[in-house]
Amino acid sequence: MAFFTGKGDGGTSKLFDSPPGARVSKTSPIFECLGMLDELNTLVGWCKAECGEGTEVQGRRMKLVLHDVQDHLFTLQAEVAGAEKSIPLSSVEAMGMLIHRIEAEMPPVKTFLVPGATELSARLDIARAVSRRAERRVATLHESGERAISDSSRAYANRLSSLLYALTRFVNHRAHVSEQPPSYQ
C-alpha cells in the first residue's frame, strides 16, 4: 500500500460504501469522526507503550486489554467509514464486567480527582478525555442521519471512557499513589 496516492489532494476521499467513482468531501462529519477515533486509538497505543510487561488487571496483561480496545476502535472506524461491521454486544458486556471488577478493588470515589499521579495514569486520563470527545462525534454523526452507527458500537463508545477511568484509578492504586481531589481554590 502506498503512503499516498494524491487522490485526496482536492479535498475528497472514498468510503467503504462509496459508489464506484464517487468521492466524499473531507469536510463531512464522517471524516471528523474518523479523525477523532484515530486520535483516540493512537493515544491508547501511547498508554499501551507505557505499560510494563508485568502490569496485570484482573488476571490479564494490561497491554492486551488496551490492544483489544484498539482492535475495537478499528472496528468502529470501519463502521463509521461504511463497512458492514460493528462492535459485538458481547464486547460491550465484557467491558462492563471488567469495569465493575476493577471498581470493586478501589476505594469509592465521591469527588473528581486531579489527573497526573503517575505517567501511565496521566496518559490514561488524556485517552479518557479524548474518548469522551470521540463518543460525542459518534453520537453526532449517528443523530445527523449521515451514518447509522449500531447500538452496540455506540454503547462501546460510551463505556470506553469509563474503562479508561477505571484503569487510571487501578494504576494509581497499584502504585500506592494517593489520589487527590481538587481544592477548588
Q: Which of 126, 123, 124, 148 is nearest to 138 (CA)?
A: 148
116-131: per-residue pLDDT in tens?
A: 789 999 999 999 999 9
Residue 185 lies in a domain: no
**pTM passes above 0.95:** no
Residue 183 lies in a domain: no
Residue 4 lies in a domain: no
Residue 49 lies in a domain: yes
Neighbours of 66 (CB within 10 A): 25
Residue 184 lies in a domain: no
CA-to-CA separations, 142 to 93, 123, 138, 146, in angstroms, rounded? 21, 28, 6, 7
Q: Quote the CA–CA distance of 101 and 97 in Å, as a whole number.
A: 6
Residue 13 lies in a domain: no
Domain housing 156 = 24-174
What SS3 state is found at 25?
A: strand
Q: What per-residue confidence (pLDDT) applies to 5?
A: 84
Q: Quote the CA–CA distance of 72 and 94 in Å, as a whole number.
A: 12
Residue 57 lies in a domain: yes
Measured N-to-C along each axis, helices 89-105 and 151-174 cross at an angle, to the nearest 10 degrees, of 20
Residue 65 lies in a domain: yes
144-156: per-residue pLDDT in tens?
A: 999 999 999 999 9
pLDDT in tens, the chain (185 residues): 788 888 788 888 888 888 888 888 888 999 999 999 999 999 999 999 999 888 899 999 999 999 999 999 999 999 999 999 999 999 999 999 999 999 998 888 777 776 778 999 999 999 999 999 999 999 999 999 999 999 999 999 999 999 999 999 999 999 898 878 778 88
29: domain CATH number is 1.20.1200.10
> What is the number of residues in the chain?
185
Question: How many domains, in total, are found in the chain?
Answer: 1
